[in-house]
Amino acid sequence: MLPSGDKSLIQIVDAALADATRRSGDWLVCKPGCTQCCVGAFAISQLDAERLRAGWSQLELDDPDRAAQLRQRVKAYIAKKGADYPGDIETGLLDESPEAQEEFVAFANDEPCPVLDPVTGTCDLYAARPMTCRIFGPPVRSEEGLGVCELCYHGASDEEIAACEMHLSTDELEAELTSEAEATTQLQGSTIVAFALLR
């Protein structure tokens, strides 16, 4: 069950994205059909997983055919990549050992996310997408510095990129909601989109 506070978290993040998008102008070229960021596996939290499952439940009500196609893509993804998954294929939890984390770096790098509709090039669960997907594109600060999508900000100086930084102050709220989701699911740790939807 999705924590009730997730709606507030999403509103804060989406508002920060809208602000960064406005400041970025033409440098931010993300648009429907641009799918480079939808290829390759990435870790998501149990909060993200719960949000995805809630989105899928809604899709099953709104568009059963699309939901059935998504289910087939999830099953095909697991059938193809499950044996190489550096984690528990029963729970979907990623192994957090250094060796497994190193394996994950190379895991499914060429595989499109199963939620990506291969015909339209859009996300079937866009409104329920994970945090990583919500903040990808505009400049976002991490331990490595300020990161941006490699397709964006061509011709912008470092100062101009920094002026477009997406400002987030949601770490505490997200951690609190993730703990709540982990208590609900009885699963602690990260997973990936395919395994989140397999449950």
- Report pLDDT digits (tens) over 62-95: 999 999 999 999 999 999 999 999 999 999 999 9
Residues 36, 190: Cα–Cα separation, whole Å: 22
Instruction: Answer yes or no: is pLDDT of 104 > 90.
Output: yes
Q: Range of 135's domain?
A: 6-198
Bridge partners, 142 (sequence order): 145
Q: What is the pLDDT, as a whole number, of residue 178?
A: 98
Assess whether pLDDT exceeds 80 at residue 199.
no
pLDDT grade for 176, boundaries at 50, 70 and 90: very high
pLDDT of residue 147: 86
65: helix, strand or coil:
helix
Specify the pLDDT at position 75. Answer: 97
> Which pLDDT score, from 0 to 100, does residue 144 have?
82
Q: Is residue 18 in some structural domain?
A: yes
188 confidence band (pLDDT: 50, 70, 90): very high
Q: Residue 32's pLDDT is what?
A: 84
- The string over 96-120, giving b where at least 16 C-beta atoms fall within 10 Å of a residue's C-beta and e elsewhere, is eeeeeeebbeebbeebbbbbbbeee
Q: How far apart are CA 184 and CA 3, in angstroms?
A: 9
* Domains identified in the chain, total number: 1
The H-or-E segment that residue 12 falls in is: helix 6-24
Predicted local distance difference test score (pLDDT) of residue 84? 95
- Has residue 1 been placed in a domain? no
pLDDT at 148: 86
* Helix/strand/coil for 37: helix
* pLDDT, tens only, 44-53: 999 999 999 9
Neighbour-count burial of 93, counting CB atoms closer than 10 A to its CB (0-12 exposed, 13-18 middle, 19+ buried): middle
Interval 20-43 mean pLDDT: 92
**Mean pLDDT, to the nearest integer, of 165-191?**
95
Exposed e or buried b per residue across 129-162, where buried means at least 16 C-beta atoms within 10 angstroms of its C-beta: bbbebbbbbbbbeeeeeeebbeebbeebeeeebe
Would you say residue 14 lies in a domain? yes
- Non-local (6+) Cβ contacts of 37 within 8 A are 133, 136, 137, 149
pLDDT digits (tens, 9 = 90+) for 106-160: 999 999 999 999 999 999 999 999 999 999 999 998 888 888 888 999 999 999 9
